[in-house]
């Protein structure tokens, strides 16, 4: 599909059409006005005018979708960006883009959608980037690759806010653009990420476009691994943790660069490494920290906790009335928790507090594992980034499997600043193991064995079942059952 559009002479896009049968000309638009003007020498001039009825102006996300329905479709993004020349039939005018110039009939500085604040998040990915990449291709290799990666992240952010009828098309619908950028990135493609940049690309998180919007369930028919953003339902913007050294954070350590031992990705089609994935996994050897996420009860849950969940830490009022025998971590800095999907659909099991003032849906804890991925240190502040993992069933002969369920950022400033090791202060029994992150399709968790292992590792008050915790401690894996 990508080669068809990239080799076209010109692509004509009916961006204002709501269906495939609507065509390029909008039927409900007011007719153009044609005026005849005569000068002092009785010479006639024809003047054309169009009625501005505000229907083609996007000043909000809702009005953008109403004015430009074609641009909200996931498959269309790569078709638009790969075409060498693009003629767009908008609601009230025609626009033309190519690698050399862009023009619209209203002579606006920016190509549609314009004007309106609601359209800005869709206008950052355009032909300008392709021209800059082409020019940069003649320059230094590192600069070219950095620019290509910056462009890719902008593409991902925009792409995930679009719509796909089939969620399994998340990888195929952007495969053509990934193949085009591969010549500039110069790295193997791994299920929406780039192999050479994987330690930093794994530090993505799903940010709802609408504030306080709860995460959607992870699509059941996804063929992407849980550590890839393509396994998440379309809708949220995908953001990345900045791993570059800055003046504010001169020290930066990415622990995944050393811990990542093997990257394997096998495509469904041997002829297309950019499409759907048949098998993918990561082999990692590093320390995991078994801990908990907390679900707040309705009575005392704060609005600042998205989906009423947070890392389990020691908190002051108004939650002091709800208590359990497990002490929370003494963290006084800022904790930012971003879940990839709705936790009730991820297989996360919550255990109610010993005592909670709300008996309907009480405060509860769920066991998870924290993978310390990044540390950034500055004179007055520090940032630690963790992948949040959930233990799953063994797969493909690998006994230690997990899946990723979210990303957490811990920021400490001033007197609050201290190392992660000093923060946990022996409260968490860390475990160093070799484990696997597998392909995510259907999460089938062995909760009884997992609970037994977790109980022994953390000395928690969770109920135990018969099992062999010593055997389970030997191997840890993050995986998703294919």
| Segment 42-52, tens digit of pLDDT | 999 998 887 76
Angle at 309 between CA 305 and CA 310, to 5 degrees: 80
Answer yes or no: is pLDDT of 164 > 60. yes
Which of 328-358 are b and which e, b meaning 16 or more Cβ less than 10 Å from the residue's Cβ? bbebbbebebbbbbebeebbbbbbbbeebeb
Question: What integer pLDDT is reported at residue 137 of this predicted model?
Answer: 66
CB-count exposure of residue 420 (10 Å: 0-12, 13-18, 19+)? middle
- Work out the pLDDT band at 263, boundaries 50, 70, 90: very high
Q: Two tokens at 395?
A: 């797969």
Query: What is the DSSP track for 380-437?
Result: SEEEEEEEEEEE---BTTBS-EEEEEEEEEEEEEGGG---HHHHHTTSS--EEEEEEE
Calpha distance 355→117 (Å, rounded): 48
Buried/exposed code over 64-76 (b: 16+ C-beta within 10 A; e: otherwise): bebbbbbbbebbb
In the prediction, which pLDDT does 343 show? 86
Question: E strands along 189-333, which residues?
Answer: 189-190, 193-194, 204-207, 237-240, 251-254, 260-269, 272-295, 309-311
Distance (Å, rounded) from C-alpha 193 to C-alpha 230? 9
CA-CA distance, 467 to 465, in Å (whole number)? Answer: 6
Distance of CA 293 to the CA centre of its chain: 21
- Cα separation, 99 vs 121, whole angstroms: 21
The first and second tokens of residue 458, run together, are 């953390």
Q: Are strands 11-13 and 85-89 parallel, antiparallel or unpaired?
A: parallel
Cβ contacts of 4 within 8 Å, gap of 6 or more: none
How far is it, in rounded angstroms, from Cα 444 to Cα 390?
A: 11
Rounded CA separation 44/425 (Å): 88
What pTM did the predictor assign?
A: 0.82
Take residue 297 and report the two structure tokens written for it. 């009860």
Question: What mean pLDDT is predicted for residues 413-423?
Answer: 84
Residue 32's pLDDT band (boundaries 50, 70, 90)?
confident
- Residues of the chain by 3-state class (helix, strand, coil), percent to 5: 25, 30, 45
pLDDT at residue 315 is higher than 70: no
**DSSP 8-state code for residue 72:** G
Given a cut of 70, whether residue 318 has pLDDT beyond it is no
Q: Which residue(s) pair with 194 in the sheet?
A: 189
Q: Where residue 404 falls among pLDDT bands split at 50, 70, 90? A: very high
- Which pLDDT score is estimated for 56? 66
Note the pLDDT tens digit of each residue in 50-68. Answer: 776 666 666 676 777 777 8
């Amino acid at each position: 599909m990508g080669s068809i559009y990239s080799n076209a002479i010109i692509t004509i896009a009916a961006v204002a059409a709501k269906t495939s049968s609507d065509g390029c000309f909008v039927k409900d638009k007011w007719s153009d006005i044609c005026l005849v003007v005569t000068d002092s020498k009785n010479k006639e001039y024809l003047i054309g005018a169009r009625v501005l009825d505000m229907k083609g102006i996007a000043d909000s996300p809702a009005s953008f979708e109403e004015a430009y329905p074609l641009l909200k479709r996931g498959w269309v993004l790569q078709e638009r960006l790969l075409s060498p020349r693009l003629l767009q039939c908008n609601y009230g005018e025609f626009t033309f883009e190519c690698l050399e110039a862009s023009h619209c009939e209203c002579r606006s500085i920016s190509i549609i959608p314009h004007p309106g604040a609601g359209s800005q998040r869709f206008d950052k990915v355009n032909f300008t980037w392709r021209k800059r990449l082409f020019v940069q291709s003649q320059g230094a290799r590192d600069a070219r690759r950095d620019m290509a990666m910056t462009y890719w992240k902008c593409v991902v952010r925009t792409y995930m806010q679009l719509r796909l009828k089939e969620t399994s098309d998340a990888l195929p619908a952007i495969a053509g653009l990934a193949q085009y950028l591969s010549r500039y990135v110069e790295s193997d493609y791994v299920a929406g990420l780039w192999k050479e940049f994987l330690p930093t690309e794994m530090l993505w998180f799903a940010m709802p476009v609408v504030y306080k919007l709860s995460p959607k369930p992870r699509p059941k028919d996804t063929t992407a691994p849980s550590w890839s953003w393509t396994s998440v339902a379309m809708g949220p913007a995908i953001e990345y943790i900045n791993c570059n050294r800055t003046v504010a954070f001169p020290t930066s350590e990415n622990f995944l660069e050393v811990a990542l031992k093997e990257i394997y990705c096998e495509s469904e089609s041997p002829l297309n490494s950019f499409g759907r994935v048949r098998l993918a996994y990561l082999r990692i050897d590093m320390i995991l920290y078994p801990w908990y996420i907390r679900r707040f009860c309705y009575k005392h849950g704060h609005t600042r906790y998205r989906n009423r969940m947070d890392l389990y830490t020691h908190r002051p009022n108004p939650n002091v009335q709800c208590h359990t025998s497990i002490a929370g971590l003494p963290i006084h800095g800022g904790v930012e928790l971003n879940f990839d999907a709705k936790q009730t659909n991820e297989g996360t099991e919550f255990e109610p507090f010993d005592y909670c003032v709300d008996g309907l849906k009480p405060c509860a804890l769920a066991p998870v594992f924290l993978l310390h991925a990044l540390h950034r240190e500055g004179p007055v502040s520090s940032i630690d980034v963790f992948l949040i993992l959930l233990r799953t069933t063994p797969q493909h002969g690998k006994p230690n499997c997990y899946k990723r369920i979210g990303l957490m950022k811990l920021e400490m400033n001033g007197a609050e600043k201290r190392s992660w090791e000093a923060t946990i202060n022996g409260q968490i029994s860390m475990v160093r193991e070799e484990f696997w992150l597998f392909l995510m399709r259907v999460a089938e968790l062995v909760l009884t064995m997992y609970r037994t292992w977790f109980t022994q590792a953390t000395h928690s008050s969770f109920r135990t079942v018969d099992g062999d915790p010593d055997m389970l401690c030997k191997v840890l894996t993050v995986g998703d059952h294919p």
